[in-house]
Amino acid sequence: MEETVNLDVAAARVALGTASPEETAALVGSVYDSEVEGSSGQRTIPLPTAEQAAWVLLELHLAAIAHGRVGPEEGLGLVIDEVFRPAGLAQQSGPRLGDSHDIERLVELQDEYDDMRRYERRTQTADRRHEQVDAQVILAAKEWMVRNATYRVS
Which residue would you say has higher pLDDT here, 113 or 34? 113
The pLDDT, as a whole number, for residue 119 is 93
Instruction: For residues 119 and 63, give the distance between their C-alpha atoms in angstroms, rounded to a whole number.
Output: 29
CA dihedral 113, 115, 116, 122 (to 10 degrees): 150
Which residue would you say has higher pLDDT here, 39 or 149? 149
The pLDDT, as a whole number, for residue 137 is 97
**Residue-wise pLDDT tens digits, 86-118:** 988 888 766 776 777 889 999 999 999 999 999
The residues spanned by each domain of the chain are 7-46, 50-148
pTM of the shown model: 0.83
Residues 6+ apart with CB under 8 A from 142: 66, 153
Residue 86: helix, strand or coil by DSSP?
coil
The pLDDT, as a whole number, for residue 47 is 85
- Check pLDDT > 70 for residue 29: no
